[in-house]
Amino acid sequence: MADFMHDPIFDIFRDEAHEHLKMLEQGFLDLDATSDSAERTGIVGGLFRHAHNLKGDSRALDLIPMQQAAAVLEETLEQLREAPDRIGPAAIEQGLLELDTLRQAFEAWKKEFIRQADHSSELQASGAITQPGEVVSSNSTGAASWLDEVQSVRVPAERLDRMQNLVGEIRVLQRANGEMQQQLRTLRGHFDEHSRQLGGEVRPVLEAFFNQTRQIETRLYQHLTREQMLAQSLEEEICQARLLPLTMLADSLRRPIRDLARSLGKDVRYQVDVGNIFLDKAVIESLRAPVLHLIRNAVDHGIERPQDRVRKGKPAQGVITLHAGRRGEKVLVRISDDGAGPDYERIRQRLLSQGLLGRPEVEALSPRELIQWLFHPGFSTAAVNEISGRGVGLDVVRDTVQRIQGRVELDAPPGAGTTFSLIIPVTLSTIRVLTVSSLGQTLGLPCSSVLHTGRVKVSELREVNGVPVLLVDGEPIRWITMADFLRLGRSRAQIKHEYENFVVVQQEHRKLAIRVDSVEDEREVLLKPLGFPLVGVPGILGGTIRPDGSVKLILEMSLALVEQATSSSSRISRMQSVARAPRILVVDDSPTTRAMLRNVLTAAGYLVQTAVDGVDALAKIHETHPELVVCDFEMPRLNGVDLTRQIKARWNLPVILVTGREKEQHRREGLEAGADAYVVKSTFQGEGLLEVIQQLVVKDRESP
């Protein structure tokens, strides 16, 4: 296979093969969605041509595995063309399986192609030099084809990211140059002031310096203005180059939806109406997981089985619709289904069984208030199965969307299906922030979360149930310091001023007044991701570079953080404070172990949340405050020993290590890190673990 790299025809084949595979999958799904015989015949004809072309191209390039796989698929489609009456679910399923085999052969070849790409490009470059006397063909068709090829250039997404970062650095230099311009203006002012105080020959000399300085300042201003315009144009062009059609995401979901519906014995039609919407590559990537989760939930829990739908007077086939449109500077993505909708009675029973609310409070909740509970961590009315119930709920969907500066809305009128609305930005590269000073630092707050700013007389603050509040238009809003908001421990004693500055932030139905030292300015900034050790830290969205070169942190105004900060004054939190079962966090990178521990602990009456590794666990602890942690020893990113050290240093929670490592040195290492107990998996007994947990939870609750 080594010689195939020497011919650029393989670049063309790679792109054409990718398009053939895409059209083949789309065609099979279209075939599955229609029962019209004439339409099916036309679709099969198109499918056959794609398979035939792939077989021919693969054979010409001596790509035997792809040729053989394409030939099998071509034979199946040829039989369907000759006998259209055989087109049915079984034939379509067979075709999709054969398509999967063909795609695997293509991916295997492409992996080898990419591996050798660097070497091949050097060989191509060395052979592309025209020797003296060489005649270049003037064939018009060839020239037109060549012109078509050079009209577009493929640029890896990583290179676009680097280019955008460079634009950010240019912006930093521009702001620094702007400060230099201000310094030059100040210097000119000094010249002018001193020249008026002096006389004789000194004054003409200073005036000459003054005039030269003014000329330099004028030219510098002109250059800076031109530079800013060019940098802005470059930034806009790069942002446009990063945009991808939303149809790319919508189409990628067709196969998973189809396969899931069939596995559940349901008949589902997937409708797409996203128009000509384009989103930044980073937004598309972040959006796929929550959208896929919502659609899987709709297929699994929303859409009823055909016989149940017919009994309710509905069509046997359920419908899931993905719709998108512009809403000002944002994009609105709606995922709707015509299924049964949430089971409100089951939500009420779940609230009662978990001790989250009392019966009078539960009965007083409206349908809109009830469905908001679906977004709470660990809250679900669904049974654990292969499709759902894996510790990934609507709270994760909400948090993921919030991380890209979006929000989620749920509308579910009783018996009328369910609609999730995701309001998201077009790009993540820039964000409008309000700059504030607090805790001795300069911080940025996303303007999308800021309601207003102000200054209040300290004597005008009030207390409600022992909690300080700020009255805004007669509405009491919880008052806290920035240290309290970021949960940095007890806030240091503040100097009592007559007046205090504040910022009111809002996420959905929650409002919060945060005390700050000062409010500076509002501007559009280039948002940069943060590396270790701040990557993934709750409450921090990213950073941006200030004119002096320092980093300004941009805070994440997530609903989880705002809810925690307002918890003691909120009605829901007062209801949650009613006696409830202890909350336990299970941390393990093995899905099997997580499920086993969850089942044992849930059956024992504990509220259980799971995390996939140590980093995920730190975020969960910060957000939900469990009373005990059960974690694995060996995990990616952050292992159990290091996680235990951090938990003990930051929260001092009880920790039980459950591990397969049986050596004494491992047990000693875990206990030295601060673990309260060490349980070996090979000797694991549910009763023994429960006894240890009971002792630690009781001890922790009784401690002052």
Highest-confidence segment of 150-164, 242-256, 350-364: 242-256
Look up the pTM and report it. Answer: 0.54
SS3 30: helix
| Least confident interval from 97-101, 191-195, 311-315, 581-585 | 191-195
Which helix (DSSP H) or strand (DSSP E) does residue 180 occupy? helix 157-197
Res 271: pLDDT: 92
Mean pLDDT of 670-688: 71
Backbone angles phi, psi at 467, to 5 degrees: -110, 130
Res 236: pLDDT: 73
Q: 621 and 656 in one domain?
A: yes
CA pair distance 382, 602, nearest whole angstrom: 14
Percent of the chain predicted with pLDDT > 90: 12
Question: Residue 397 pLDDT more than 50?
Answer: yes
Given a contact cutoff of 8 angstroms between Cβ atoms, the answer to whether 28 and 255 are in contact is no
Mean pLDDT across the chain, nearest whole number? 77
Res 569: pLDDT: 40
Of 124, 149, 179, at which residue does a domain stop? 124
Helix axes 614-624, 559-566, angle to 10 degrees: 40
| Least confident interval from 84-93, 110-119, 572-581 | 572-581
Compute the chain's Rg from CA coordinates.
Answer: 32
CATH number of the domain to which 464 belongs: 2.40.50.180
| Least confident interval from 21-35, 150-164, 263-277, 331-345 | 150-164
Q: Is 134 exposed, middle or buried (0-12, 13-18, 19+ CB in 10 A)?
A: exposed
Res 219: pLDDT: 81
CA pair distance 510, 572, nearest whole angstrom: 11
User: Regarding predicted confidence, which is higher, 198 or 496?
Assistant: 198
User: Regarding predicted confidence, which is higher, 88 or 562?
Assistant: 88
Question: Residue 422 pLDDT more than 90?
Answer: yes
- Sheet of 607-611: strands edge to edge? 607-611, 583-587, 628-631, 655-659, 677-680
Of 391, 417, 443, at which residue does a domain stop? 417
| Least confident interval from 353-367, 449-463, 684-698 | 684-698
Mean pLDDT of 437-462: 85
Q: 272 and 411 in one domain?
A: yes
Position 643 in a domain? yes
Residue type, 513: A
Q: 552 and 482 in one domain?
A: yes
A 10 A CB-CB count for 545 gives 19
- Tell me the pLDDT band of 126, cut-offs 50, 70 and 90: very low
Question: Residue 218 pLDDT more than 50?
Answer: yes
Res 306: pLDDT: 93
CA pair distance 419, 336, nearest whole angstrom: 4
Q: 400 and 283 in one domain?
A: yes
Position 246 in a domain? no
- Tell me the pLDDT band of 140, cut-offs 50, 70 and 90: very low
Question: Residue 495 pLDDT more than 60?
Answer: no
Backbone angles phi, psi at 336, to 5 degrees: -120, 150
Highest-confidence segment of 20-34, 474-488, 597-611: 20-34
Contacts of 353 (CB under 8 A, 6+ apart): none
Centroid of chain to Cα 71: 40
Q: 512 and 628 in one domain?
A: no
- Sheet of 318-327: strands edge to edge? 268-273, 318-327, 330-337, 418-425, 407-411
Q: 607 and 564 in one domain?
A: no
Position 576 in a domain? no
Position 99 in a domain? yes
Domain hosting 366: range is: 267-417
Q: 221 and 317 in one domain?
A: no
Dihedral class, residue 549 (left if φ above 0, else alpha if ψ from -120 to 50, else beta): left
Closest CA to 321 of 420, 424, 425: 420
> In degrees, to the nearest 5, what angle opens at C-alpha 111 toward C-alphas 106 and 116?
125
Distances (CA, A) of 586 to 197, 256, 595, 597, 630: 77, 29, 9, 7, 5
CATH number of the domain to which 308 belongs: 3.30.565.10
CA pair distance 18, 57, nearest whole angstrom: 12
CA pair distance 18, 54, nearest whole angstrom: 10
**Per-residue exposure over 611-647, b if at least 16 CB sit within 10 Å of its own CB, e if not:** bbbbbbbbbbbbbbebbbbbbbbebeebbbbebbbbb
Mean pLDDT of 265-288: 88
Res 234: pLDDT: 77
Given a contact cutoff of 8 angstroms between Cβ atoms, the answer to whether 371 and 348 are in contact is no
The total domain count for the chain is 5
Mean pLDDT of 66-76: 90
- Tell me the pLDDT band of 332, cut-offs 50, 70 and 90: very high
Mean pLDDT of 1-11: 52
Position 149 in a domain? no
Given a contact cutoff of 8 angstroms between Cβ atoms, the answer to whether 330 and 423 are in contact is yes
Given a contact cutoff of 8 angstroms between Cβ atoms, the answer to whether 431 and 450 are in contact is no
> In degrees, to the nearest 5, what angle opens at C-alpha 339 toward C-alphas 335 and 340?
125
Helix axes 89-115, 117-127, angle to 10 degrees: 60
Position 251 in a domain? no
CA pair distance 442, 482, nearest whole angstrom: 12
Percent of the chain predicted with pLDDT > 70: 76
Q: 68 and 18 in one domain?
A: yes
Highest-confidence segment of 14-23, 71-80, 459-468: 71-80
Q: Kindly tell me the sign of the dihedral angle through the C-alpha atoms of 391, 259, 290, 309.
A: negative
Residue type, 85: D
Highest-confidence segment of 348-357, 386-395, 589-598, 654-663: 348-357
Given a contact cutoff of 8 angstroms between Cβ atoms, the answer to whether 678 and 664 are in contact is no
- Looking at 518-660, which runs of residues are DSSP E strands? 518-526, 540-545, 551-555, 583-587, 607-611, 628-631, 655-659
Mean pLDDT of 326-331: 82
Res 301: pLDDT: 86
Q: 312 and 178 in one domain?
A: no
Res 567: pLDDT: 58
Given a contact cutoff of 8 angstroms between Cβ atoms, the answer to whether 322 and 273 are in contact is yes
Q: What is the DSSP letter of 275?
A: T
pLDDT, tens digit, for every residue of 456-494? 888 888 877 777 888 887 778 888 888 878 776 544 445
Q: 310 and 411 in one domain?
A: yes
Q: 382 and 272 in one domain?
A: yes
Res 492: pLDDT: 45
Highest-confidence segment of 183-192, 348-357, 547-556, 679-688: 348-357
Closest CA to 571 of 440, 464, 703: 464
Res 355: pLDDT: 77
CATH number of the domain to which 103 belongs: 1.20.120.160
User: Regarding predicted confidence, which is higher, 173 or 620?
Assistant: 620
Position 247 in a domain? no
Supply 514's token pair.
């945060």
Given a contact cutoff of 8 angstroms between Cβ atoms, the answer to whether 331 and 324 are in contact is yes
- Tell me the pLDDT band of 134, cut-offs 50, 70 and 90: very low
Q: 350 and 471 in one domain?
A: no
SS3 674: coil
Supply 35's token pair.
């029962």
Given a contact cutoff of 8 angstroms between Cβ atoms, the answer to whether 404 and 428 are in contact is yes
CATH number of the domain to which 631 belongs: 3.40.50.2300
User: Regarding predicted confidence, which is higher, 413 or 422?
Assistant: 422
Given a contact cutoff of 8 angstroms between Cβ atoms, the answer to whether 387 and 418 are in contact is no
Question: Residue 132 pLDDT more than 60?
Answer: no
Mean pLDDT of 293-309: 90
Question: Residue 173 pLDDT more than 80?
Answer: no
- Tell me the pLDDT band of 142, cut-offs 50, 70 and 90: very low
Q: State the DSSP string of 355-372.
A: TSS-HHHHHH--HHHHHH
User: Regarding predicted confidence, which is higher, 377 or 653?
Assistant: 653
Given a contact cutoff of 8 angstroms between Cβ atoms, the answer to whether 248 and 272 are in contact is no
CA pair distance 407, 409, nearest whole angstrom: 7
Position 131 in a domain? no
| Least confident interval from 25-29, 480-484, 565-569, 688-692 | 565-569
pLDDT, tens digit, for every residue of 340-366? 888 888 888 888 887 777 888 888 888
User: Regarding predicted confidence, which is higher, 677 or 581?
Assistant: 677
